[in-house]
């Protein structure tokens, strides 16, 4: 492959898989040219350019409302305009293959590529398909899924491939030694519990942790790492008596999340697609608290599926309190047999070679074009 064009945006769960694919393609084809179509002010506009050596194109697009709304009329207009603009970019860049990783920004360019006869692949990260994947699945050459459960939602797709999430490929290369070092934990045998609510934090999880923080004294041999989210850090930090809790680290954000995850014993967090990829790649038991505020409630479907496979325990926000959360954490830490079984179940679901498998698929459809 000489040129590959990517698109995905809105959240890190759509952007980071695209970048993982880009890095893997670059390793296999050092001279490959890579371009990306995103929005001018979306999260992808801040993350992708930092990667370097990726040409960044922009389109204007907005998502459809799931309910009946006059705003969807304008959305259709912007979609048509974005398709036209994407065709101009595709004509200029001349990609061998086009990859979409979700978010409404990827809809127009992937559709445009299909209309122009460019080989196309879309990647779905969640159990329940996003609207963009549902729309594009009838047009693209390949739909790649992260979780086998997604297949039942793809009746009209041309070809479905269970690849896993390419984020997993990067996580398995992380260093537990560096993770412990960054936290100041010298004992390689000390259990670590990581609690987080996503990059911006989660109010419900923060409140539950604050309610149970004194209970951490009951397990002095365990080190707790609590990631509040940057916007909540100062307020939360002021409410915790840190001098009484030497086994607790409070962080606003973790820039080396893969390394810390590699050193972790148990994870408490949301059920986004990237988190599931990381947990299953590393074989990490977890207590998942799905966000009820995401589109199509896909996090609950993710968490419920992982729980059904024996790899996690799900707590809905309506069930969440300091007491219920502490009960699950303590139970899993004090029951090595269940912890081991959950770890093995998670590992069986993992696809650590996901990025390589995806690039193999791209090679197949790119070659079939000629």
Per the annotation, binding residues for UDP-N-acetyl-alpha-D-glucosamine are 11-13, 126, 199, 299
Q: What is d(CA 70, CA 130) in angstroms, rounded to the nearest whole number?
A: 21
Q: Residue 93's closest CA among 57, 124, 140?
A: 57
CA 51, chain centre distance (Å): 18
Label residue 220 exposed, middle or buried (CB < 10 Å: 0-12, 13-18, 19+).
exposed
CB 314 within 8 A of CB 324: no
DSSP three-state, residue 251: strand
- The DSSP string of 48-62 is HHHHSSEEEEE----
CA 107, chain centre distance (Å): 19
Q: Which residues sit in the known binding site? A: 11-13, 126, 199, 299
* Six token digits for residue 228: 């509040």
Q: Residue 209's closest CA among 262, 265, 251, 271?
A: 251
- Degrees to nearest 5, angle at CA 214 with 208 and 219: 105
CB 327 within 8 A of CB 268: no
Q: What is d(CA 299, CA 289) in angstroms, rounded to the nearest whole number?
A: 9
* Six token digits for residue 91: 């004509």
């Amino acid at each position: 492959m000489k040129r590959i064009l990517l698109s995905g945006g809105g959240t890190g769960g759509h952007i980071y898989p695209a970048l993982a694919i880009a890095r893997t393609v670059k390793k296999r084809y050092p001279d490959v040219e890579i371009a990306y179509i995103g929005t001018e002010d979306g999260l992808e506009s801040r993350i992708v350019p930092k990667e370097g050596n990726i040409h960044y194109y922009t389109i204007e697009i907005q998502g459809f409302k799931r309910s009946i709304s006059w705003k969807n009329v304008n959305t259709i207009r912007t979609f048509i305009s974005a398709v036209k603009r994407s065709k101009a970019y595709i004509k200029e860049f001349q990609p061998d293959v086009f990859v979409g990783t979700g978010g409404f920004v990827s809809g127009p360019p992937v559709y445009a590529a299909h209309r122009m006869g460019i080989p196309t692949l879309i990647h779905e990260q969640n159990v329940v398909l996003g609207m963009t994947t549902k729309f594009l699945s009838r047009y693209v050459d390949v739909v790649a899924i992260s979780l086998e459960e997604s297949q039942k939602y793809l009746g009209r797709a041309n070809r479905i491939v269970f690849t896993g999430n390419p984020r997993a490929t990067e996580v398995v290369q992380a260093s537990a030694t560096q993770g412990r070092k960054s936290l100041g934990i010298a004992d390689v045998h000390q259990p670590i519990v990581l609690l987080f609510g996503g990059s911006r934090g989660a109010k419900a999880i923060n409140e539950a942790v604050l309610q149970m923080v004194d209970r951490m004294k009951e397990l002095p041999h365990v080190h707790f790492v609590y990631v509040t989210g940057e916007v909540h850090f100062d307020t939360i930090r002021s409410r915790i008596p840190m001098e009484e809790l030497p086994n607790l680290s409070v962080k606003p954000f973790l820039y080396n999340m893969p390394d810390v995850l590699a050193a972790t014993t148990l994870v408490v967090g949301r059920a986004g697609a990237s988190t599931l990829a990381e947990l299953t790649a590393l074989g990490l038991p977890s207590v998942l608290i799905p966000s009820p505020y995401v589109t199509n409630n896909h996090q609950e479907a993710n968490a419920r599926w992982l729980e059904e496979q024996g790899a996690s325990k799900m707590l809905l926000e309506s069930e969440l309190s300091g007491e219920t959360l502490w009960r699950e954490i303590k139970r899993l830490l004090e029951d090595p047999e269940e912890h081991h079984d959950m770890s093995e179940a998670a590992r069986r679901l993992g696809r650590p070679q996901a990025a390589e498998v995806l690039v193999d698929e791209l090679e197949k459809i790119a070659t079939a074009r000629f």
